[in-house]
Structure 1
Amino acid sequence: MKPSHTIRPVFDESNLVSAAGLVPALRLAESAGLYGLVEGLTVPSPNAGVKTASVVGGMLAGADSIDDLDLLRHGGMGRVFDGVRAPSTLGTFLRSFTHGHVQQLDKVSGALLAGLARQVPALVNSGARAQGIAFVDVDDTIREVHGYAKQAAAYGYSGVRGLNVQLATLSTEVAAPVIVRARLRRGNVASHTGAGQLLAQALGTARAAGVSGPVLCRADSAYYGHAFVATALRHGVWFSVTVRMNPQAKAAIAGIGEDAWTPIRYPHAVWDEAEQRWVSDAEVAEVPFVAFTSRRKAEQVTCRLIVRRVRRLQPLAGDGSEQGELFAAYRHHAFITNSDLDTIEADQRHRGHAIVEQVIAELKDGPLAHLPSGKYAANAAWVAMATIAFNIARAAAVAADMATARWATLRRKIINVPARIATTGRRLILHLPARWAWAEHWTTLHTAATGPPPATTT
């Protein structure tokens, strides 16, 4: 592929837009109540709702810094959208946020997710598969920052200087994850700090979004603490939390007999037809367990300790040959749960916690590529708006029959599509590229965004 002619570029077309997919995406958000919700913000800045929508729109189109928000101001964008603001105006707006205003944005995010779930029922669908289980996953990540002007930046557990983003996602067996709660924290905060409050807020948002069946709350060993588990119990949901290898856990694992281990389907497992079982280096077992015995008796939690063990690879000899092993050595991974799933399924569901890493990766590949301001509250507002944009993008992907598409894929195929504006009477017509490979998906999203809301069923 090479240019076919000598080409002279001229930037003079006022009827072109480069992100025509923002039209159906923001129409979908409008039908879910976005503009009414952001009008309730009490930020001391004129037209706070309009500016918030402008930042969210820029994020949907790929902006990952305040200067990048200028991508909304070109060609015919001013004819297609109202309320587009300059990056300098939006930067000043972000710096006017306080912690209370960020909490207002969190409330907007939760209410918008509920509205999106009503408009696109498949967005949060607990279905009949996997016993109708919905999964709430909690994790955090360090977003590296540079410069001495970043408020609250510090060296965290990753050894880099940054700010900590904690988030909770909601997913099912048939629905990709959406973000039900996210918040920015100082860089050196412990992962589990505030986990109970975050989980309670996430569960409230999940229920408001239509989750009515059983919920399994999953987390890694950084969240192994009473606050997380007690919050799950208080809300009547299941928990599945990786255990720290403390002496109590090690003693419980050592007490498991060899006949209690069951082979499981694991990477590189082989199905043995003769014995009708998986032949694998991975096995699972479970024992009764009482967690948090250092606390008073009323706060101790009786649950199940499920352990997965994987045989360690035998190191090769100096000449490259394989040595015989005197005894098998294993790596153990244990977690506690109060679910009524059988041992093998409980282990499988717990391993699914890794899906939250996909969401973190998508955010870092989008608006969280940077935390653009030196002011902490401005960056916290940026994270809250990124959450709103992520959920709109996820709803748009589902409405476009691209439920498995990641955010970058949605931007490339649906949102960042060029179009030419034409006028007929009082209507605008978007002339999109002929033979666009994803034209059918684009049209499906536009129909879902502009058509009547789906009929509710009881």
Structure 2
Amino acid sequence: MTFAAFDDPNLLAHGGLAPAVRLAERCGLPELVRDKVRLSGAGNGAGAAPDAKVMSLVAGMLAGADSIDDMGVLRHGAMAKAFRGVRAPSTLGSFLRAFTWGHVRQLESAARAFTCNLAAHCNLLPGSDQVVHLDIDSKVKQVYGAAKQGAEHGYTKVRGLHFQIVTASTPLAAPVIVASRLRKGSAGSAKGAASLIAEAIRAVRAMGATGTVIVRADSAFFSHKVVAACRRAKAHFSLAVAQRKKIRETIAAIGEDAWTAIKYPKAIWGRDEQRWVSDAQVAEVEYTAFAGKAKRYRTTARLLVRRVRRLNDAHVPDGQGELFKVWRFHAVFTDSPYPLVEAERYHRAHAIVEQVLADLEDSALGHLPSGRFTANAAWLTLAALAHNLTRAAGALASAFHAKARTGTIRRQLLAVPARLAAGGRTLTFHLPQHWPWRQEFTDLWTTVGCRLRT
């Protein structure tokens, strides 16, 4: 016979929360929230103890919670002994619903300062003295229920809320989120992008990045406002461009001798000719964008063009000519300081932001849980903060976890079962024997100032 009983008061399902919460405390998250987030006038005490409530929400997100009810994961076994100040899900929901847009901005300010502290403590952006890539993207998060404020149908034809994020990464570092914003579902992808990019550039500079900053985005963000924001902040831009008539005419005018083969999937290195034999080639030409705008917005820079041999021309629009039937073209407008091949390769790495979006949806952004728009905006900010904290914990654990998916970090380092023993004014976390990632967990545990019992 096999039996089950929920009767052990000393068990923890997520023993790895201890070093993660300790890391958040060492980087000043509770103090930053107390200093910056002031929910004055909130009824029924909803604005009281914002630091404890934010820490509870972040800890729940670290454990995988994607709704307010899921915050109940913090209220089991020995959690009350291990972590003081854990709040009930109903209390956390009342706290989030008390937010106004001004409170959301206060929380964003605290999150930016906390990320700066994390970067200093954990070296989140190694190589930022050389180059930092800022990637902006947006996603419509489908929501349900008629009471969701701001939920509308947008370009995806689904009813939802539309959020933007900006991530910072280097060739040596996985991306962290440095700016985020929630908009109504019908908002265009680029709405508010210029101001968000400006915030992100200030954030990475505050994190100590002294190298070249390059803002990368897809064609939805190609606008004079985005370019102007980059130039005001002394950052470079690398923006994909849609295939409109003027762009097609510019591409058609590029001579055949201007194309250079690049390393691309299925490329072969030709030893005799010392070059890549590839189905993809790149070229560049000078281009003036926004010619129809006021003179101060007209921008002359490089147009990088990648062409990939078209294997199926069934979807070629009529009237595009023989050139466009043979090749598929991808154009990038940039003032990148790097040579052609390197600049084009750097831009293609913009796709890394999609992994961050996937990580968010695999954790706290599985839902936008509240009916109130500002509560969901605060939830988005906390989800980004939890993502960065998870990333920092991985960076302290091992080189592998520094670049691993946040879901992997959560499974291997945070969701470690433990039995809590108290005695002599000490707490001891008894962890499983032969845990496959024991050494990585030990490195994280000791680095944040916790001690091992031998």
Per the normalisation by structure 1, the TM-score is 0.93
Letter in 2 for 1:150: K
User: Per-residue deviation at 1:417?
Assistant: 0.8
**Secondary structure of 1:167 counterpart:** strand
1:418 corresponds to which letter in structure 2?
A: P
2:163 corresponding residue in structure 1: 165
Using a 3 Å threshold, how does the CA distance of structure 1 residues 159 and 211 change in structure 2: closer, same or farther? same
Task: Say whether 1:124 aligns with 2:119.
Answer: no
Aligned: 1:186 with 2:191: no
Partner in structure 1 of residue 410 of structure 2: 411
Deviation per residue, 1:333-386 (Å, 9 max, x gap): 001111121111111000000000000000001010000011111111100110
- Measure, in 1, the Cα distance between the counterparts of 2:100 and 2:51: 16
Q: Which residues of structure 2 form unaligned runs of 5+?
A: 315-321
Between the aligned residues of both structures, percent identity stands at 49
Match of 1:42 in 2: 38
Q: Matches of 1:400 and 1:433 in 2, distance apart?
A: 18
Structure 1: tracts of 5 or more residues without a match: 1-5, 317-324, 453-458
1:336 to 330, 333, 338: 333
CA shift in 2, pair 1:451/1:24, >3 Å: closer
1:93-124 alpha-carbon deviations (Å, 9 max, x no partner) = 11000100100111111100110011112x11
Cα offsets for 1:379-407 (capped at 9, x unmatched) = 11100110110110000000011212211
Instruction: Supply the distance in 1 between the matched residues of 2:26 and 2:216 (Cα, whole angstroms).
Output: 32
Structure 1: distance between partners of 2:301 and 2:218: 17
Q: In structure 2, how many angstroms separate the alpha carbons of the residues matched to 1:87 and 1:232? A: 41
For the residues of structure 2 that align with 1:238 and 1:117, how far apart are their CA atoms? 22
Q: Secondary structure at the match of 2:329?
A: strand
Matched letter for residue 347 of structure 1 = E
Measured after TM superposition, the shift of residue 314 of structure 1 is: 4.3
Letter in 1 for 2:402: A
- Asked whether the 8 Å contact 2:252–2:323 carries over to 1, the reply is no
1:361 aligns with 2:358: yes
Residue 12 and residue 327 in structure 1: after superposition, are their counterparts in 2 closer, same or farther (change >3 A)? closer
2:284–2:340 Cα contact (<8 Å) kept: yes
The answer (yes or no) to whether the contact 1:28–1:448 under 8 Å persists in 2 is no
Contact 2:313 2:325 in 1 (8 A): no
Alignment of 1:196 with 2:198, yes or no, is no
**1:20-169 pair list within 5 angstroms:** 20-40=15-35, 41-43=37-39, 44=42, 45-121=47-123, 123-126=124-127, 132-169=130-167
Distance in 2 (CA, whole Å) between partners of 1:377 and 1:127 is 33
Q: Indicate the residue corresponding to 1:223 in structure 2.
A: 221
- Equivalent of 1:390, from 387, 390, 395? 387
Root-mean-square deviation (CA), in Å? 1.6
Q: 1:322 is matched with which residue?
A: none
Structure 2: distance between partners of 1:296 and 1:176: 39
Q: Distance in 2 between matches of 1:404 and 1:150?
A: 35
Q: Is the 8 A contact 1:164 1:188 kept in 2?
A: yes
Specify the SS of the correspondent of 2:166.
strand
CA distance in 2, matches of 1:277, 1:365: 41
Give how far 1:7 is off.
2.1
Counterpart of 1:399, as a letter, is: L
Find the partner of 1:234 among 232, 235, 259.
232
AA at the equivalent of 2:34: E
Shift of 1:77: 0.2
Match of 2:376 in 1: 379
Aligned AA (1:77): M
In structure 2, how many angstroms separate the alpha carbons of the residues matched to 1:204 and 1:445? 29
Matched, 1:13 2:11: no
Opposite residue 373 of structure 1, the aligned amino acid is S
The size of the alignment, in residue pairs, is: 435
Q: 1:257 aligns with which of 232, 255, 258?
A: 255
Alpha-carbon distance in 1 for matches of 2:145, 2:423: 52
The residue identity in structure 2 corresponding to 1:386 is A
User: Take 2:268 and 2:196, find their aligned partners in 1: how far apart are those partners?
Assistant: 41
Cα distance in 2 for residues equivalent to 1:64 and 1:85: 16
Q: Find the counterpart in structure 2 of residue 442 from structure 1.
A: 441
The one-letter code sitting in structure 2 at the alignment partner of 1:249 is: I
Q: Secondary structure at the match of 1:182?
A: strand
Give the whole-Å Cα distance in 2 for the aligned partners of 1:77 and 1:17: 7
What's the secondary structure of 1:241's corresponding residue?
strand
Contact 1:125–1:211 at 8 Å: present in 2 too?
no
TM-score of the pair, normalised by structure 2: 0.94
SS in 2 for 1:141: strand
Kindly state the Cα deviation for residue 275 of structure 1 after the two structures are TM-superposed.
1.3
- The aligned residue for residue 420 of structure 1 is 419
2:449 corresponds to which letter in structure 1? T
| Per-residue deviation, residues 212-232 of structure 1 (Å, max 9, x unmatched) | 110110000000001111111
